[in-house]
Amino acid sequence: MERIASIMLLAICLVGTGYLYMEHVDRLAADEAAAAVVAEEAATAAAAAEVEAAKIKFTIPHDKDANTTDITVSLDGSGSFDSEGDSLSFYWDQTSGDLVYLESTDNNTTTFRATTGEYTFKLTVSDSYGSSSSENTTISVAQEPNTPPEVVVKVY
């Protein structure tokens, strides 16, 4: 009888240990999954911050004229080069934002008038052999800043 009780006690201990082990494994798996979600969210936030930091930001200057709603923006690709010294051609293309008129699409520089908003442009530079490289740039234009007037009332 004592032997049967010992065997049953041993079996109960083994089952209990197995249960605790499975609980531990499940908890570890849940912790790993939660850590993966946190890491993915952090990577997404870092990527969004990098995109935001790469934007070139302008603000329409305050000029005491409420009708001023745009500014002139210049895009300059003149620093582009070919390591072999081949002649280059340039092509500017607006890829997002309210449509603007580019003064030139085939020079190394161009200008446009921008209102409040975001604009993305792609510059493609090609050499005389037909090899090309492209770069995108995003410009963010903020509205003209304005603070409300100060009110002063005097009573006599």
**Token code pair at residue 125:** 């530079």
Q: Are residues 48 and 68 in the same domain?
A: no
Q: Per the domain annotation, does 153 fall within a domain?
A: no
Q: Are residues 121 and 67 in the same domain?
A: yes
Q: What are φ and ψ of residue 37, in 5° steps?
A: -65, -45
The pLDDT value recorded for residue 59 is 80
Q: Are residues 24 and 43 in the same domain?
A: yes
Of the residues 9, 28, 54, the one at which a domain ends: 54
Q: Are residues 17 and 68 in the same domain?
A: no
Q: Are residues 76 and 115 in the same domain?
A: yes
More confident residue, 111 or 57: 111
Q: Per the domain annotation, does 118 fall within a domain?
A: yes
Task: Decide: pTM greater than 0.75.
Answer: no
Q: Per the domain annotation, does 92 fall within a domain?
A: yes
Q: Are residues 77 and 120 in the same domain?
A: yes
- Name the pLDDT band for 84 (thresholds 50, 70, 90): very high
Residue of 106, 105, 66 lying closest to 89 (CA atoms): 106
Q: Are residues 100 and 135 in the same domain?
A: yes
Q: Are residues 97 and 22 in the same domain?
A: no
More confident residue, 42 or 149: 149
Average pLDDT over the chain, rounded to an integer: 81
**Token code pair at residue 22:** 């499975």
Domain range holding 102? 56-142
Q: What are φ and ψ of residue 7, in 5° steps?
A: -65, -45
Q: Are residues 46 and 60 in the same domain?
A: no
- How far apart, in whole angstroms, are the C-alpha atoms of residue 19 and residue 31? 18
CATH at residue 96: 2.60.40.10
- How far apart, in whole angstroms, are the C-alpha atoms of residue 87 and residue 81? 9
**Token code pair at residue 23:** 């609980």
- How far apart, in whole angstroms, are the C-alpha atoms of residue 118 and residue 84? 35
Q: Which DSSP string corresponds to 59-92? A: EPPP-S-TT--EEEEEEE-TT---TT---EEEEE
Mean pLDDT of 144-152: 88
- Over 70: is that where the pLDDT of 33 sits? no
Q: Are residues 34 and 94 in the same domain?
A: no
Of the residues 54, 81, 97, the one at which a domain ends: 54
Angle (CA) 112 52 50, round 5°: 130
Helix (H, G, I), strand (E, B) or coil at 147: coil
